[in-house]
Structure 1
């Protein structure tokens, strides 16, 4: 069943440009337009909206974006995990020349269990940092473990960071859909340079709006 989601997702991604562009380029565009669309929900930006419209008009099947997102939502509802990271690995979407490798979700889950599996809820929200988040495998695993410990989004938040904007987009999309209270940063964790910040709906709802 779960493997069918990968096939359905591939079909939806390929349909966006009907083969006139490679599947990896279409996937990159899907991740970008999804991230931009989620940002629009939090704060409307005309320039961002024009970018979305431009990308939609350039596609041969605008519905392909929505179909791919629908498959992703169904896959994450069926099983919590790093669906986009898995798909990217299966379809050679990783930059192996720079040593880019995504941690398998089951490994991330074991690490998360040993790291935060014995934590107790406290009055002050727990802050967790992931300096090389990739597509979000470790972030999702930590969320999964804490949720099983009855932590609510008000009890913790995660700062996730990556230097690769494609990884940032994937992590942001999945964290948003899973309602993870996180800020996904595009930046260099070695130099502390931050290029952009992307708070999820859950983080904005539980921390940004609450502080105003």
Structure 2
């Protein structure tokens, strides 16, 4: 991301500081931007989310509301310049990560290093066998780890928009909106969930346009059914070779990404 776009985004947010709490403005912008993308594709949740959008913008003066699409434009151009955690960087530049808020996002450079370590020669082999790989992120934050994974796959000559599916969770709705927004703009097929991974409590799903356009819900369900059929064999019988070959494979690596089917 160029420094020009980051400075422009920060400046636009700070123009709202004198009338409103900047942390609230940032959170509301993330939710409104996420809703605007979701409502273009996710028909089932459109009505409730549209009502939520109107409720948020009703709290602000026209000048502030007019700033929202300008920020969106700068975020789009920043991501056009290259994969990057634009919103995570903005969050820190606005100094919203202070100790009172108690939230810090993983530096993107560190995420890049971990992603490069994870993507290897066996990744292409898995895609050749199954058609895609999956990544699971239990505490996604702003989405830096997944963005770095997409970048690493791209650098390896793999089209992540067609051969990667992501399931990401975070307990903070604002973080989910940030991740969903960036995944959507990068056309990453993903299901981003508001929930607590440790308690296994999940409340709200956000499906990226790439997930919906790629029919990933049906595709993943069909593969899960196929896997169950492959492994549900009477214990007294020896499974035929083709079933053994289709059994789930374990892939070693960092716990950050899970390349096994869900």
> What is aligned with 2:32?
33
Residue number among 137, 142, 158 corresponding to 2:144 in the alignment? 137
CA distance in 1, matches of 2:87, 2:29: 11
Aligned counterparts, 1:1-212, within 5 A = 2-15=2-15, 17=16, 19-44=18-43, 45-60=46-61, 61=63, 62-94=65-97, 96=99, 100-118=103-121, 119-120=123-124, 121-124=127-130, 125-152=132-159, 153-208=161-216, 211=219
CA deviations 1:131-179 (Å, max 9, x no partner) are 1111000010001111222323232211111111111110000000011
Q: 1:85 aligns to what SS in structure 2?
A: helix
Shift of 1:97: 5.3
- Structure 1 unaligned blocks of 5 or more: none
Higher-Rg structure is 2
- Aligned CA RMSD, in angstroms, stands at 2.1
Task: Give the TM-score taking structure 2 as reference length.
Answer: 0.74
Shift of 1:66: 0.3
Shift of 1:95: 6.2
Runs in 1 of length 4+ with deviation above 4 angstroms? 209-212
Greater alpha carbon shift after TM alignment, 162-171 vs 149-158: 149-158
CA distance in 1, matches of 2:107, 2:17: 30
How many pairs align?
A: 211
Task: Give the TM-score taking structure 1 as reference length.
Answer: 0.90
